[in-house]
């Protein structure tokens, strides 16, 4: 469907808001840098969704440069990753390093220690989806551990 001229689009949106019947384009937060305490290399993320209670939905789009990765961590309520671009690596503690590619979906259950990141020679972007803590649930929502060493990252750890 052809887009309306911008002015008309705004007029329609205003009318729809007044009726309270529209989907709304959500405000965008600035892209944020993954902090050095919990990431190795350059990692940037955008908050895509942050559900209002009773929803506990959390969705971030996370972009990793080659070799960049999370530190070891676990999620209180598990996490689903969906790779939207590039090639990456993921590993559960005690498991093999798994190559993940655009279109792949990976699930890590509650409390499972793991890391994820880009392949050494490719960018990787994934959607990270999880549930925030329920009311009264014991935290932390994400428990962070040590950085993934170069030896671990290259499978020599």
| Residues at the site binding Mn ion, with contacts judged by CB under 5 A | 79
- Minimum Å gap between C-beta 82 and Mn ion is 12
Cβ-based nearer residue to Mn ion, 13 or 106: 106
Cβ-based nearer residue to Mn ion, 79 or 91: 79
Cβ-based nearer residue to Mn ion, 42 or 112: 112
* CB-neighbour burial class of residue 124 (10 A; exposed 0-12, middle 13-18, buried 19+): buried
- Minimum Å gap between C-beta 129 and Mn ion is 10
Residues 34 and 40: their CA atoms lie apart, in Å, by 9
- Minimum Å gap between C-beta 80 and Mn ion is 9
**Residue of minimal CB distance from Mn ion?**
79
Residue with tokens 């329609």: 12
User: 3-class DSSP state for residue 18?
Assistant: helix
| Listed residue (89, 151, 143, 86) closest to 115, CA to CA | 89
User: 3-class DSSP state for residue 45?
Assistant: strand
- Minimum Å gap between C-beta 148 and Mn ion is 12
Residues 5 and 38: their CA atoms lie apart, in Å, by 45
Cβ-based nearer residue to Mn ion, 15 or 145: 145
């Amino acid at each position: 469907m052809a887009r309306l001229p911008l002015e008309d689009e705004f007029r329609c949106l205003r009318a729809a808001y007044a009726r309270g019947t529209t989907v709304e384009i959500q405000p965008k937060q600035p892209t944020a840098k993954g902090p050095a305490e919990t990431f190795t290399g350059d990692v940037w993320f955008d908050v895509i969704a942050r559900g209002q209670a009773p929803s506990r939905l959390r969705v971030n789009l996370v972009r990793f440069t080659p070799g960049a990765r999370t530190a070891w961590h676990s999620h209180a309520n598990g996490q689903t990753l969906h790779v939207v671009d590039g090639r990456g690596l993921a590993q559960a503690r005690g498991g093999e390093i798994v190559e993940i590619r655009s279109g792949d979906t990976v699930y890590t259950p509650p409390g499972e220690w793991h890391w994820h990141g880009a392949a050494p020679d490719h960018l990787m972007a994934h959607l990270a989806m999880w549930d925030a803590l329920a009311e009264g649930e014991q935290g932390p929502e994400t428990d962070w551990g040590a950085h993934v060493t170069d030896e671990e990252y290259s499978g020599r750890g």
